[in-house]
Chains A and B, each alone.
Chain A
Amino acid sequence: AQSVSQHNHHVILSEAASLELGCNYSYGGTVNLFWYVQYPGQHLQLLLKYFSGDPLVKGIKGFEAEFIKSKFSFNLRKPSVQWSDTAEYFCAVNARSNYQLIWGAGTKLIIKP
């Protein structure tokens, strides 16, 4: 069965620190990959997505993610975080042959001002 693993449940950083959130999935076929963000008290919003092409994907608010097929990974990065990046981040995957999204458990990111 497909699964998505997010390495850290909680991450605390200071402003201007660099960020990398890990995401690994288990599925041997072709996949679509997503990162969603949920700001405090709000609904989930799409941060970035990978369908095909350049494995380095740029999203909103300075975020980017790199798809490494050989490692089954889709890690989220940001070179310099801001206090407003405090949120919960979810990685999600779906096999091209299956419409259902498989969600990671989420990583709560707290940025200290």
Chain B
Amino acid sequence: DAGVIQSPRHEVTEMGQEVTLRCKPISGHDYLFWYRQTMMRGLELLIYFNNNVPIDDSGMPEDRFSAKMPNASFSTLKIQPSEPRDSAVYFCASSSLDLAKNIQYFGAGTRLSVL
């Protein structure tokens, strides 16, 4: 398996623009997690899905952030409108209780810079 695939790897945008980050989990994994990592706040869980259904979005910072998982092989994290304080590395991870015993496998991340 190719692992968790995220795109784009780098995104530079201007304040106010819409940003969409994409994630393809490992095939067969039924949990998907979105994290944000910054120097100031460390690693933060934003939202996670089980079988494509959002389970806990309490980590989503505000209404400008939204996440969807239309099917088992694809998820998006959208920021609209983006702000400079959203600059961070966004990681997607997937897991499976059956296949992976709750070991989370991380993608390479998307480094977002909002100017």
Contacts and interface: CB of A to CB of B under 8 A. Distances in A.
Interface of A: 32, 34, 42-46, 49, 51, 90, 94, 99-101, 103, 105-106
A99 B109 contact: no
B104 A43 contact: no
B56 interface: yes
Nearest to A51: B101
A105 B42 contact: yes
Interface residues of B, number: 19
Given A43-B106, A44-B43, 19 more contacts: A32-B101, A42-B108, A43-B107, A43-B109, A44-B93, A44-B104, A44-B106, A46-B103, A90-B43, A94-B102, A99-B97, A99-B102, A101-B102, A101-B104, A103-B42, A103-B43, A103-B45, A105-B42, A106-B42
A99 B43 contact: no
Contacts of B34: none
Interface of B: 31, 42-43, 45, 48, 50, 56, 91, 93, 97, 101-109
A49 B103 contact: yes
